[in-house]
Amino acid sequence: MLTIARGELIQIFRNRLVLVTALVLPAALSAFFITKRDAFTEMGSLGYIATLVLFFVASIGLYTTSVTTLAARRQNLFLKRLRSTAAGDAGILAGLLLPVTVLSVAQLAVILGALAAVAGTPADPLLLVAAAVSVVAMMAALGLATAGLTNSPEHAQVTTLPVSVGVLAVSGWVGLTGTGDLTLLKRLLPGGSATELVLNAWNGGVPLADSLVLFGPTLAWVAVAVALATRLFRWEPRR
């Protein structure tokens, strides 16, 4: 797995398009949110800015790049060749997704750390970390599922739009309006409960027990995405 991951990391830094998608664009957008934090806090709160950063990095940096990577490796038959080695299926997928996942987590740590430094620390840092990990797990799992429907790296520009735009829309909706109205719907949509969890972790004022319940919908989406990936994922190009 580590050998596959090392090779994939080299490919990321050689591919300018993937490098921009995985690193430059999420970091630039996040920096914009931080520099314009006063304007965004007028609409929401510091927790709202944290959700914007988290979901832009997870959706654009992790999810879109994961789908593009897996589609590209399938198209050039690299996935098929890897299956002829001693590595198992889980190890192959983990090795391919590990570099972009680590890069996304590192970006989140740096950007959220910068936000905390310039605007004030979150009320519950450990809860914030747990929330970020749950979002990363959800988007990585959704990436596996979407890769099963994606025939090529070019096709990924289309297949990733519904999930990436949908998750960003849900997080923005919940981040601005909260869950006082349409509570169940907002929490069940992908990213809704995670957004509320990040808001609670950064802004505080909510009992820990009430926040822990919010992990349920996000973990359920992870399970659904893994189940879909198991059924949909293909190791060879469709004919």
Question: What average pLDDT score do residues 195-220 get?
Answer: 91
pLDDT at residue 230 tops 80 = yes
Distance CA 36, CA 11 (A): 34
Distance CA 199, CA 36 (A): 18
Q: Is the pTM above the cut of 0.85?
A: yes
Q: What is the pLDDT of residues 110-134, one digit of tens each?
A: 888 888 887 778 899 999 999 999 9
Question: What average pLDDT score do residues 33-62 get?
Answer: 77
Q: What is the pLDDT of residue 18?
A: 63
Backbone angles phi, psi at 6, to 5 degrees: -65, -45
Q: What is the pLDDT of residue 125?
A: 92
Distance CA 11, CA 33 (A): 29
